[in-house]
Structure 1
Amino acid sequence: MIRFLKLLPSASLFVILGVVVLPSVAAQAADDPSRPIVTKEIDDLITIIEDDGEREKFLQRLRLLKKASEDSTIANTPTTPGATVLQQLSDQVSVAGSRLVQSVETLTTLPGAVVKLFKGLNSTEERGIWLGAIFKILAVLLAGYLTEILIRRLVKRPREAIESTDRETFWSRLPLQIGRFLLELIGIVAAVTVAYALLSATDPGNTTRVIAIALINATALVRLISALMRVALSPRVNKIRLVPVSDETANYWSVWIRRLSVFSVYGYIALETGYLLGFQPELYNVLSSILGLGVLLMLIVLVQQNRRLVAKLISGHNHDSAASLFRKRIGELWNVATIVYLVLVFAVWISDKPGSFLVVVKGSLATIIIIVGAIILGTIVNRLVDRSFRLSDELRTRFPYLEARTNRFVPKIKTIITTLVSLIAVLSILNSWGINVTKWFESELGALITEKVGSIVFIIFIAVAIWEIVSSLIEHTIHRSQSSTERSARLETLLPLARKTLLVVLSVMVTLTVLSELGLNIGPLLAGAGVVGLAIGFGAQSLVKDIITGIFILIEDSISVGDFVDVGGPNGTVESLSIRTLRLRDIEGNVSTIPFSSVNTVLNYTRDYGISLLEIGIAYREDVDQVIEVLKRLGEEMMEDEGLAKDILEPLVVQGIHRLDDSAVTLRARIKTTAGMQWAMRREFFKRMKKRFDELEIEIPFPHQTIYFGADKKGFAQAAPIQIENKPERVKED
């Protein structure tokens, strides 16, 4: 019953409309003096058409009037775009001003029309007619309302089951909302069907039928808008709400949508119905202006109430980028721009230019639909991109650097997709407003530019794809080669150089191709580059030699990062290799940068494996076999040490006596170690050997010096005076 009472103001509007219409129609039929004049003019026109001479004169007059009108139009037509826009604005303002003046003049006649209306209702017959019409209209509305109530009760259980279901995601809630909407739609369709059937059965008059049909259609349209609003917002059921807003926000927007739909739909259909039934044009214009002004004021209030919230949504996160600052400025001015747009739409509404308001409405609705669709499409595509680039655990294990690389390009891909969607949306909006952008693309210039831009984008895309694929393979290869120190060092040297070379080659090729697509003749550029290259080749022979020698050294794998090398002068650990230089750090920490052209020989101490070459000197009196056994035992002890065994490739090998020196017998032994560990092994072996020789009292000889004083002819050596002095003991002082 409450809903039926809510419809009474709208029903009253249409009843008053019918009451106003009948006197105006009667007045036009009885008092309009223009009807006989129109009949006489028609008779005169028939006479002119039937008479050949009169018809020719009439046609000449029409041609003269047409020519004068064309001359006047050409003379008054602006010749520049700015003047055209100003002229159109001036015309719109002039028409709107005329409409406002006419509306004010018509409003001054309304009191008299109201008095005439009430005088007409004093007639018993007239009151009976309109009371019967009102009764029939209310009966039709009540029947439709009761039908909807009945249907709602029949579908109450499935509707409550849908509303009690709790779903988390948008896609799981959407089917429930569609089902709920279909249940409400059944009630609306049934109510409209019953109302039309009862209206046909009662056989009302023409005026009553038009008013009843208009009221039924308006009510059905308002109910349909409310049903769609409940699908999106669900102000009373938040478990299946599609739009992620609070209960307060959902109820706020539902109230405003209901206000706007009721006022605009009932008002517009009432105006059109009144015009159909015989409203005078002046009265129609006044009421339409009032209706448009009411909708304008409601929308302005709605904009002002939400200006801060929308500004915050437009501004987004606070950043210092140019895009963020631009969005912030848009957020600060959006309400002003929207109000200006609404005022302009209202001006078009009251200007009464044929078809202009319909174009604005279609363009505005299409713009809103396109923007919402673009936002939804962009969101869906971005989520698909996130899901597509999400790697499984197996891929993360196999390609540990792949996720970081793909995630680095996900924002760029999203930006490209957002740009494309925005571009398509802008073109669609322009087409919806009658700006046919497609014709420009179909023109010769547009097709040429589109083809060139497409080719350039395709070339850049292919180059980026090649770069990313090669870079990913390089990083994957380096990661897999880390188990082998030697191979990893070489690859860490060669592959970054190959990647840099590929970057240079791709950059040059893409640049030349893009310039060629833009229409530039790259032949002279290539010739100039060849001349420059030749000049550089002659003038920088040392540089070219460095590069070529470096390439061959790297290809032959003579040197890798981490090797300890001697290049015929400086020696040290290789820290880095470029395309033309070698950088070494010696044992004291000094860094040497050596051009490859000055490298004649390379002595690499850390290639494949190392040999700790041991030369041990013992006294002549020592037992050589005993010492060899001691050395072998020391080698076995080192093999048994877990900290040393991993770097010993083969056991100690004693090769035997290497030399007989002046004061020592020199033995030679060797230990095969991993690359770079030979020096550490030799130091460890000598430490252990010294301790063991001290324990076994094996002498490690050192140089001795014998003093010879000479001899006489008889062979006796001259005596050397020796004096031994006893040092006095120190007396301790008390």
Structure 2
Amino acid sequence: MPLSRRMVRTWPVAFMLVASVLLVLASSLPAQAQGLSLSGLAGGGGGGDGEQQTQVDPQALQASLDQVIATLENDAQRGELLTRLKELRQATETLTSETGAGQSGQGGLLGALADSFTEYGDQAQAGQAPLDIWTQRTLRASEDLEALFSSISREELLRDSAEAAVLLAVWSGLLFTLIGAGRLLARRHGWPRVLPPEPRGWMLIEHFLRKALPWMLAFAIMLAVLSWLDVSQAARTIVLVVAYITMCGRLLSTVFDVVISLFTRGHRRVAVAILRQGALGRLFLIGALAALGDAASSERLSAQMGNELAGWVSVTCNVLAAIISGGLVIRYRRPAKHLIRNRPYPQRREKTTSQEIINVIGRLWHVPALLLIGASLLAIFFSAGEADGAFTRAIVCAALLVLTLVINGVIQRHSEKATHRRRKSQYRRRLERFGYTLLYFVFWAIFAELSLRVWGLSFLGIGEEGAISARIGQALLGVGTTVLLAWLAWIFADTAIQRALNASARSRGRRVHSARAQTITPMIRNAIFITIVVIALIVGLANLGVNVTPLLAGAGVIGLAIGFGAQTLVQDLITGLFILIEDSLTIDDFVDVGGHMGTVERLSLRTVRLRDLDGIVHIIPFSQIKGIQNFSREFGIALMRIHIPHDMKIDEAIELMRSVADDLRKDPMMRHYVWSPLEVQGIQAFEQGTALLRIRMRTAPVMQWDVARAFNLRLKQRLDELGQSLAVPRMSVTMENAEPGGEFHETRDDASQGPATPRRHASMPGVQG
């Protein structure tokens, strides 16, 4: 916020007045500070560097002092001076806070972490780090312990120890006597020593009284007896503390034993047995440590031991109790889960919302318990044992966690029902999954914000824009939002690709569509996926505080270098991209790419893989393909040229061809490949004395050669049945003046194999054949 014009105008006057006041205060220092001259004050007290000290004019100093004295004596001027000084202080604080916020607002997550480490380092250098505070507190506790032992003599220590040992022996004898009396009473009345499965109510009461009442009576009797016995205060305190902490440990373990005895029905019996066998002893120790920590924090015991020693003992006992509790939760989480989840079969069969909530709590009960313990330990550590209300805050955080887990469990149950409710498109199913994930993200963010609010922090930075926790939370929230938006963009892009490919299936066959999908879909999906991931990665790095400008510049330079150094590769990629977009060839097409003919087995961004008729695989770069002959599109043409025999009329030959084609179309193996009747295109030419008949049929793609071979086979079989032979080349020979009075012609048929058979026929004189 810029300073007002009035403040800027009055700044020099205020500065002179402040300097004058400081000079007056400096002149009124006690005698040990009078050795400092005015020149030393002006020069910062340092003359070791050889610089000349500034000389102050006595008359100017006298005038300044008179002005300050006059200002302070005048009420109006003094009030105006105070008002200007307050305005100056407020403007300076505002400018400092804005500058700090502007500097702290940069850097993202890494900057926030760096600032937090810097702050922790400053605290460590100033001796305010948690470890330093714990060290200082331990030293003060040891000093209290030394003072406690040094304040009493050796004779008093021996006397107090003897009295405490005698009183502890008396308490132990009384306790064992009461325990034996309880067992004798139970045996006389026939009460069970161990609770049976599914105990009755009076059995639970009897078990609790028999287990806990002797400890309570022993403590009460010792408290009453020690109130009138003439013993030392130390011995009385030791005995009462031991009796109190053991009674609390026994009460905790007994109450837990009675509670779990209510769940000994059915499948829960094994879990109850496991908990009784291993958890009761640990619970006794936890209760004793918690009671010792509570007793050490009392005013009477603090006065006897010392505040620092008593506080250290209290915190240590609480920490040990929390650690043992965490180990107990981890070790026995499965038996406790069985106690919570194993309900009667009619309740488990109904699948109600309450049953689902119980299942969620049983599956994740240890998470809030461990959070409660961990939060308490962290609060104790960072506050050096002075975490007032830390346990209450931890309980609130655990309750928020349980609520969040229950809400997420309900959302998960609803999502599972929605997926099995009816058939949906893949696009809608993916959007619903994204929506449920977004709900999970929102509720966990709300939980983080509320939990940090309990501890006086903020995750979203609401009202605390400059806090380190808010900066870390906002950076993490930005990363999470980036991931969700990238996922949503991928869903839209992938769905658009699928719909664009499915649109071509209406006009083309399923096989062609499948081949096109296998060809184009992986490459387009990979390209779009890599693009989205790269963009999301750049945005995520920016949220983390990484400067992405050098990365983008380096990527541009590398891309330019690759473009110039790999021109052939770029040409292959561009040509292949256009070939695939134009759908010139796909997988399983039979093509001729100029010098290579075969079936397309695989397509990549740079090459096409062909397998020819001999089974040889050819890898051809796209840049070498100048033209494509695709035999697998729409239909094929079986074109045939048949030589007609000499002694067969042309009409009979055409009728024979049509008959053979009709028989071929009725063949169960070939009828699916012949798509049209026989089309006679006429006599194409006369070759060596025979007529060449041109016919054709429309067939399925790539099946024209199979259809032609099948037609030729049937035609040969039909000619064999008719006793006809295929036409062979014919040559006529004319011999003149062979005999007097006449001439004859010799004609032979030159077959492809065997000698020619001459045949003679007469002709008219003077006529040439």
- With normalisation by structure 2, the TM-score equals 0.49
- Whether contact under 8 Å (1:374, 1:422) holds in the other structure is no
Alignment of 1:381 with 2:404, yes or no, is no
Residues of 2 paired with 1:430 and 1:100: CA distance?
45
Q: 2:387 aligns with which of 359, 367, 371?
A: 359
After TM superposition, give the deviation of residue 694 of structure 1 in Å: 1.4
Q: 373-382 or 572-581: which moved more?
A: 373-382
1:428–1:718 Cα change, 3 Å: closer
Counterpart in 2 of 1:128? none
Deviation, 1:248, is 0.4
Aligned counterparts of 1:296 and 1:269: Cα–Cα separation in 2: 9
1:558-593 deviation digits (Å, cap 9, x = unpaired): 222222122233222222333343332221122333
Distance 1:525 1:364, change over 3 A: closer
User: 611, 615, 625: which is aligned to 1:599?
Assistant: 625
Alpha-carbon distance in structure 1 between the residues aligned to 2:452 and 2:553: 48
Residue 490 (structure 1) aligns with: 516
Question: 1:665 maps to which residue?
Answer: 691
Change (3 A) 1:608 1:436: closer
How well do the aligned residues superpose, as a CA RMSD in angstroms? 6.6
Asked if residue 249 in structure 1 is aligned to residue 274 in structure 2, the reply is yes
Q: Which aligned pairs between 1:398-413 and structure 2 lie closer than 5 A?
A: 399=426
Structure 2: stretches of 5+ with no match in the other structure = 1-123, 168-197, 206-226, 228-244, 336-372, 747-754, 756-769
Residue 706 (structure 2) pairs with residue 680 (structure 1): yes
SS of the aligned residue for 1:649 comes to coil
Q: Which structure: greater helix fraction?
A: 1
- Counterpart amino acid of 2:415? S
User: Which of 558, 564, 582 is equivalent to 2:590?
Assistant: 564
1:616 paired residue number: 642
Match of 1:633 among 655, 659, 664: 659
Aligned to 1:454: 477
Other structure's SS at 1:684 match: helix
Is contact 1:401-1:476 (8 Å) kept?
no
Amino acid corresponding to residue 582 of structure 2 in structure 1: E
Structure 2 residue corresponding to 1:510, chosen from 516, 532, 536: 536
Q: Distance in 2 between matches of 1:111 and 1:445?
A: 54
Could you tell me whether the CA contact under 8 Å between 1:396 and 1:402 is conserved in 2? no
> Which residue identity does 2:466 align to in structure 1?
S
Q: Give, in angstroms, the shift of residue 553 of structure 1.
A: 2.8
| Structure 1 equivalent of residue 581 of structure 2 | 555
Number of positions where the alignment pairs a residue of Structure 1 with one of Structure 2? 508
Question: 1:608 deviation in Å?
Answer: 0.8
What is aligned with 1:27?
A: none
> Cα gap change, 1:100/1:364 in structure 2, threshold over 3 Å: closer, same or farther?
farther
Structure 1 residue 234 corresponds to structure 2 residue 260: yes
Distance 1:402 1:111 in 2: 76
In 2: Cα distance, 1:466 partner to 1:687 partner? 59
Using the alignment, how far apart are the partners of 1:532 and 1:645 within structure 2?
59
- Write the letter of the residue equivalent to 2:713: K
AA of the residue aligned to 2:618? S
Deviations 1:355-378 (A, max 9, x none): 986738x54675587569758855
SS at match of 1:568: coil
**Contact in 1 for aligned 2:641/2:695 (Cα 8 Å):** yes
Deviation at 1:246, TM superposition (A): 0.9
CA contact (8 A) 1:366 1:429 kept: no
Q: Aligned residue for 1:471?
A: 494
Question: Cα 1:437–1:510, aligned 2, differ >3 Å: closer, same or farther?
Answer: closer
Measure the CA separation in 2 of the matches of 1:359 and 1:511. 41
Does structure 1 conserve the Cα–Cα contact (< 8 Å) formed by 2:665 and 2:674?
yes
Change in CA separation of 1:397 and 1:697 when aligned onto 2, cut-off 3 Å: farther
**Distance (whole Å) between structure 1 residues aligned to residue 650 and residue 589 of structure 2:** 38
Q: Following the alignment from structure 2 to structure 1, what is the Cα–Cα distance between the partners of residues 676 and 711?
A: 14
Unmatched runs of 5 consecutive residues or more in structure 1: 1-76, 118-162, 165-179, 185-206, 208-217, 314-337, 349-354, 725-734
Q: Distance in 2 between matches of 1:297 and 1:529?
A: 53
After superposition, the Cα gap between the structure-2 partners of 1:451 and 1:677, relative to the gap in structure 1 and judged at 3 Å, is same
Would the aligned equivalents of 2:674 and 2:697 in 1 still touch at CA under 8 Å?
A: yes
Structural mapping, 1:140-155, within 5 Å: none
- Paired with 2:711 and 2:574, the residues of 1 have a C-alpha distance of 43
Partner of 1:644: helix, strand, or coil? Answer: coil
> Do the aligned residues in 2 keep the contact of 1:378 with 1:421 (CA within 8 Å)?
no
Aligned to 1:660, the other structure's residue is in SS state: strand
Counterparts of 1:398 and 1:301 in 2: how far apart (Å)? 51
Residue 544 to residue 445, structure 1, CA distance change in 2 (3 Å): same
Would you say the 8 A contact 1:663–1:701 is kept in 2? no
Q: In structure 1, what is the equivalent of residue 721 of structure 2? A: 695
Structure 2 counterpart of 1:87, from 130, 133, 136: 136
Alignment-derived partner of residue 333 in structure 1: none
Q: C-alpha deviations, 1:342-365, integer Å up to 9, x for none?
A: 9x99xx9xxxxxx986738x5467
The 8 Å contact of residues 619 and 700 in structure 1, kept in 2 or not, is answered as yes
Secondary structure of the 2:387 match is helix
Sort the Cα spacing of 1:245 and 1:663 in 2 relative to 1 into closer, same or farther, 3 A.
farther
Whether contact under 8 Å (2:289, 2:317) holds in the other structure is yes
Give per-residue Cα distances to partners, 1:366-412, cap 9 Å, x unaligned: 55875697588558737844762677457668549979x999x99x9
Residue 500 of structure 1 is matched in structure 2 by 526
Distance 1:256 1:369, change over 3 A: farther
Equivalence for 2:72: none
SS of match in other structure, 1:645 = coil
1:85-484, aligned counterparts within 5 Å? 85-96=134-145, 98=147, 229=256, 234-239=260-265, 246-252=271-277, 255=280, 259=284, 281-282=303-304, 309=331, 359=387, 363=390, 370=397, 374=401, 377=404, 381=408, 384-385=411-412, 388=415, 392=419, 399=426, 424=448, 442-443=465-466, 447-448=470-471, 450-471=473-494, 474=497, 481=505, 484=510
Tell me how far apart the structure 1 counterparts of residues 153 and 674 of structure 2 sit (CA, whole Å): 109
State the partner residue of 1:187: none
Q: Please state whether the residue corresponding to 1:503 is helix, strand or coil.
A: helix
What are the Cα deviations for residues 489-510 of structure 1, in whole angstroms up to 9, with x where unaligned?
Answer: 2233233232233134324433
Asked if the contact 1:493–1:561 (Cα under 8 Å) also holds between the matched residues in 2, the reply is yes
1:565 match: secondary structure: strand
Spell out, residue by residue over 1:182-201, the C-alpha distance to the aligned partner (whole angstroms, 9 max, x if none): xx9xxxxxxxxxxxxxxxxx
Contact (CA 8 Å) 2:290, 2:318: kept in 1 or not?
Answer: no
Please give the alpha-carbon distance, in whole angstroms, between the structure 2 residues aligned to 1:110 and 1:550.
97
**Structure 1: how far apart are the matches of 2:523 and 2:280?**
67
The DSSP-based 3-state class of the residue aligned with 1:589 is coil
For the residues of structure 1 that align with 2:717 and 2:291, how far apart are their CA atoms?
111
1:661 to 1:571, Cα distance in 2 relative to 1, 3 A: same
CA contact (8 A) 2:519 2:586 kept: yes
Q: Secondary structure at the match of 2:677?
A: strand
Q: CA deviation at 1:628?
A: 2.5
In 2: Cα distance, 1:597 partner to 1:446 partner: 57
1:655 equivalenced with 2:681 (yes/no): yes
TM, length-normalised to structure 1 = 0.51
SS where residue 512 of structure 2 aligns?
Answer: helix
1:578 equivalent to 2:627? Answer no
